[in-house]
Amino acid sequence: MSYIIGLQCRECGRNYPADPLNVCDFCFGPLEVVYNYSEISKVISRKSIESGPLSMWRYKDLLPVEGDEYVDLGTGFTPLIHAKNLGRYLGLDQLYIKNDAVNPTYSFKDRVVSVASTRAREFEFETIACASTGNLAGSVAAHGAKAGMKAFIFIPDDLEQGKIVGASVYGPTVVTISGTYDDVNRLCSELADTYPWAFVNINMRPYYAEGSKTLGYEVAEQLGWRAPAHCVVPLASGALFTKIWKGMNELSDLGLIDPFSTQMHMTQPNGNSPIVDAYNLGDSHIRPVKTPKTVAKSLAIGNPADGIYALAALRQSGGSAVSVPEEEIVQGIQLLAETEGIFTETAGGVVIAGLRQIVKNNGINPDEPTVAFITGNGLKTLEAVEHIVDTVPISPTVDSFADAIANRL
C-alpha cells in the first residue's frame, strides 16, 4: 500500500507523477514527495510502529515506496545513548548521542539508500549509481549487491582509503574524478541524462532524501514519543538537517507526538561552511565554496543543494549555526571516544566540536534533552587521527615492560 500522491516542485508548486524525476521543468526547483496524510493517519499509530521491525522500515507508511519488498540490510533503529560522561564534561544532564555509526555500512547513508534502492527496483532500474563524498559510495555499493543491481560509484580522487576500500569490497565500478565533489556531482547530472541508471542522489533524490526523516522519527520514539529540545546535526548538502526537522513535524501533525519546539543547530567545518556562513551573514541564498579544504571530507559539498531549505528549517526552529575550526575536529573525535567509547568519523568530530561551541555560547540549558547526531564511523577516516597513535614498544620481558612504563607512571 502506497500513500504517495506524486511529486511537487518546492519552488513553484507544480505537480509531477511519482517518477524518477528531481527537477521542475518550469523553474528548475527541486521536487519533493507528496503524501496522502489523511489516509496515513487512519493506519498509523504509536502501536503500529512499535509492532514493526527493529529497523527504519517500522516507519514504512511515511516512506516513499509502493510495495513491501525492501532492499534492507537491517538499517536503522540505532542506539540513542544517554551520554552521561560527555554530558558531565559539558554540563548537560540530558545529552544523548544518536549513534548512526553502527548502521550496516557504518553511516546514516544506509537510510537514504535503502529507500532509494527500493524505489529504484520498483522502477525496474538495473543499475544504481551515485556521486559521493565517501559514505554514500559504500552504501550504494552494498545495497546494489543486495538487490542484484550493477553499481557505479563516482567519487573525488582524494577520499580516505577506508571509504574507497569499504565501497570496493561490494564489487561496484568505482570511478575516481580529479576534482571536487561539486565537479563529480555536475558530471553525474550530465550522465544521468544519458545513462538509464538510478542515480540515488540525482534522479532518485526526492525518494532518497526522505530516508533521513527516519532519524527524526527514531529519536522522538526513543525519547518516549517526544521531540528533543535541541538537535545538533552535521551538514553537507543540508538534506539530512532538513529531513530530521520534517520527520518530527510529520509526527506532530499526525498526533503521534505533542506539538514541540526543537531548536535545530547546524554544524559545518571552517574549511567548508557555505550554509553556516549564509546564516551568519543573514543571506537567504548560498555562496558556493569553490574548493572546500577540510578534513571532514564527508561534509565537503561547496554548493549544497538543500542549503536554502536547511536555512529555512533553522530559522523556523530558532536554532543556531556554528562552523568549527579544523583543529577542533580531531579533538571532537577524541572527546567522544574518551568519554563515551564511541569512535566517530570526522563529521562526528564536527558535531561534538560544534556542540561545545553551542554550550559555550549558553545555547543549551543543562536540563534540556539534546541530541547530537553521530552520522559516520571513525574506522573509515583513520588518516585524520593516525597522528595520535602512541604505542609503548617493548620486548616480551617483564623488565622491558617495567623500563618502558617507568617514565609514564
Using CB under 5 A as the binding rule, whether residue 10 contacts Zn ion is answered as no
Cα distances (angstroms) measured from residue 244 to each of 6, 43, 47, 153, 257: 21, 22, 22, 26, 14
368 to 387, contacts with ligand PLP by CB under 6 A? 375-376
Q: How far is the CB of 381 from ligand PLP (least distance, A)?
A: 9
Give the amino acid at 46.
Answer: R
Q: How far is the CB of 131 from Zn ion (least distance, A)?
A: 23
Q: How far is the CB of 132 from ligand PLP (least distance, A)?
A: 8
In the bound complex, which residue of the shown chain has the CB atom lying closest to ligand PLP?
A: 376
Using CB under 6 A as the binding rule, whether residue 105 contacts ligand PLP is answered as no
Q: Which residues contact 56 (CB under 8 A, 6 or more apart)?
A: 63, 75, 76, 77, 111, 114, 211, 214, 218
Using CB under 5 A as the binding rule, whether residue 12 contacts Zn ion is answered as yes
Using CB under 5 A as the binding rule, whether residue 102 contacts Zn ion is answered as no
Using CB under 6 A as the binding rule, whether residue 249 contacts ligand PLP is answered as no
Cα distances (angstroms) measured from residue 246 to each of 68, 165, 196, 252, 316: 23, 34, 31, 10, 11
Query: Nearer Cβ to ligand PLP, position 235 or 342?
Result: 235
Cβ(21)–Cβ(206) below 8 Å: yes
* Choices 12-20, 176-184, 231-239, 385-393 (CB under 6 A): range interacting with ligand PLP: 231-239
Cα distances (angstroms) measured from residue 264 to each of 56, 83, 339, 372: 22, 19, 24, 11
Using CB under 6 A as the binding rule, whether residue 109 contacts ligand PLP is answered as yes
Cβ(257)–Cβ(251) below 8 Å: yes
Using CB under 5 A as the binding rule, whether residue 402 contacts Zn ion is answered as no
Site string for Zn ion, 151-180 (x = CB under 5 A): ------------------------------
Among 1, 27, 102, 404, binds Zn ion (CB under 5 A): 27
* Residue 234: closest CA among 276, 204, 184, 202: 276
3-state DSSP call for residue 107?
strand
Count, residues near Zn ion per rule CB under 5 A: 8
Q: How far is the CB of 348 from ligand PLP (least distance, A)?
A: 7
* Residue 200: closest CA among 125, 118, 136, 116: 116
Q: How far is the CB of 139 from ligand PLP (least distance, A)?
A: 9
Query: Nearer Cβ to Zn ion, position 26 or 401?
Result: 26
Helices in 224-302 by DSSP H: which ranges?
239-253, 274-280
